[in-house]
Structure 1
């Protein structure tokens, strides 16, 4: 049986570049060489891409790059055109529907959510609106867009006319990995928190901070039929679950399955699948939640979860009896299945082809 040709997209230009590279290298090293012929592409610069071929199961060398004119040429090279693309790009230009749209135009199957699901889920403010529409509990929030709205919010805040009360958590609307996030416990810290978040994008989410909550994440797999992997309980050592604690081995304790009552676990799994559907996710997602005040609160869904050695989805899959190489097999199968379903739906909508 011929091996599937897999292009692994990694790196990119977002603030999460280093996490993306770690994810891509982990995926490349774990792909079964008997099943896949893999190469990788790093679309790190406008108008150019780095690409390279390497045997599955081998680490990606730091300097094994060659420059091609565009990422599109790298994908359409007749000697390398992939059967499927494994997207390991996090954040902007990777998780936001941009690369997904390009792959749709090229007719190449890819792992993860489509254009709509990616664009919706990457924006925390749009996600919050959909949570409300679908009855998904989420912490109270407000949002500002741009410097002018931020200044107007601060004026109301200082005058005591804002309904927002500390503690709150201030986040860029379209960044992940806790980049640009600040927990505001004192009113004086709000201006700097907004400045930090605005550095990463024009829209900012200001969300109630539920202190003392149990942090949970629930991975979801599937297209039409969904299943959840074991729930992960997250215990950061010494404080807030920030970038350093997410990606430093030993900085956070992850317990799988989570030590929560059965009724809360059932509620979390149901909400994870509802969130996956509400945000039009496909293939996989990882839904982040809090258990506080005897309720599960949904924060966001990640459509391209990290696949580093410390990442949560691989940990949950392993605990559920799905080792990392088999998880990759499953995700690739879901990508091909999702592409076939979407192609069939488009063909049906377009009607019969004229003779």
Structure 2
């Protein structure tokens, strides 16, 4: 029998999305086929490694995890593929991708440049504008711009009006994101946003049907069925995203054939514009005037409530098969 492919799952990390990353990593570890892969995991924040061993119990497989110090990973040897299950800064922004490039170890997901550009919402908007991809009107305020921060409510009112969405430039999972309806709430919202990043992106609040469209593949990529998102709260916040009783998610989305086609084409365009590989997920609103893109994620969540696995399932792709595909795309880059 040929040697199993060695898969190291990077998870945890030090960003605000550490908990989400641990959930993604655990889901991936439990679903990877132990008949095909030799699997272990690394928490990049603690320096601890998990060596999952699968043992049969009454015909069912159970994952038994032993925590060991990182140097003991030498026993497992150099991984053939790294499965990146990190979210947020330090995992999704090109930094760990650059490290793996230096080590010449293939990894799942996009490369350094695509990861960095997608993580930076301001630069992503600039790219979209250059390619005539519609995004919400917005302004940018830096933490260091004390004078602009003091008059932010006036500037927002004049240029965008209310309500607006205020979010960190480089953060995910809706951390530091607020829906602001009144000028007097701007200062507090900015204060919260600046806890996560030194740059705030303020955008007009779009009215329409919120959807997300996942894309799989490298050069030859395909868009999966759009997922419609119906938040329980005023916008798709952290609780809506990760609670088991969070937002209602419908796949395929209840869209016209024309809107579905446009949404898929925009997701593919964003994937190619950034130079994404393996996977991406583009969030957007469908309005009376067409689709408006919010952002593209290069490492979508893989938790039990995540949207990429839901879209894949609607396309007839099981979670296990999805992981196999992502590993295969990583091998194409080798």
| TM-score (normalizing by structure 2) | 0.94
Kindly indicate whether the alpha-carbon contact (under 8 Å) linking 1:3 and 1:36 is maintained by their aligned counterparts in 2: yes
1:185 equivalent in alignment to 2:186: no
Could you say which residue in structure 2 is the equivalent of 1:41?
42
Q: 1:3 to 1:161 in 2, by over 3 A?
A: closer
Query: What RMSD, in angstroms, separates the aligned Cα atoms of the two structures?
Result: 1.8
Instruction: Report the alpha carbon displacement of residue 104 of structure 1 after superposing the two structures with TM.
Output: 0.2
Query: Equivalent residue for 2:254?
Result: 259
Q: Which residue of 2 aligns with 1:68?
A: 70
Q: Are 1:333 and 2:328 counterparts?
A: yes
CA contact (8 A) 2:152 2:186 kept: no
Question: In the alignment, which of 221, 229, 244 is matched to residue 249 of structure 1?
Answer: 244
Per the alignment, residue 77 of structure 2 pairs with: 80
Do the aligned partners of residues 12 and 246 (structure 1) sit closer, same or farther apart at CA in structure 2, a change above 3 Å counting? Answer: same
Judge conservation of contact 1:144–1:205 (CA < 8 Å) in 2.
yes
Native 8 Å contact 1:120 1:126 kept in 2: yes
Partner SS state of residue 259, structure 1: coil
Partners of 1:313 and 1:274 in 2: CA distance? 18
Shift of 1:253: 1.0
CA distance in 2, matches of 1:148, 1:60: 51
Find the counterpart in structure 1 of residue 51 from structure 2: 53
Tell me, in whole angstroms, the C-alpha distance in 2 between the residues paired with 1:105 and 1:111: 15
Question: Equivalent residue for 1:116?
Answer: 113
2:298 matches 1:296: no
* Pair 1:160–1:311, CA change in 2 (3 A): closer
Task: Describe how 1:162-311 pairs up with structure 2 within 5 A.
Answer: 162-211=158-207, 213-311=208-306
Give ranges in structure 2 of 5+ residues lacking alignment. Answer: 55-60
Q: State the alpha-carbon separation in 2 of the partners of residues 217 and 120 from structure 1.
A: 19
Report the 3-state secondary structure (helix = DSSP H, G, I; strand = E; otherwise coil) of the residue aligned with 2:327: helix
1:39-67 per-residue CA deviation (whole Å, 9 max, x = no partner) reads 0000114xxx1112113664475xx4333
Higher mean displacement: 14-23 or 273-282: 273-282
Map of 1:130-169 to 2, 5 A cutoff? 130-148=127-145, 151-155=147-151, 157-158=153-154, 162-169=158-165
**Alpha-carbon distance between aligned partners in 1 of 2:64 and 2:25, rounded to the nearest angstrom:** 9
1:283–1:338 contact (8 Å) kept in structure 2: no
| Stretches (4+) displaced over 3 A | 56-61, 156-162
Q: 1:25 touches 1:60 (CA, 8 Å); kept in 2? A: no
CA deviations 1:267-296 (Å, max 9, x no partner) are 000000100111121110001011123310
| Alpha-carbon distance between aligned partners in 2 of 1:231 and 1:292, rounded to the nearest angstrom | 15
Q: Distance in 1 between matches of 2:279 and 2:285?
A: 20
**How far apart, in 2, do the equivalents of 1:159 and 1:269 lie?**
35
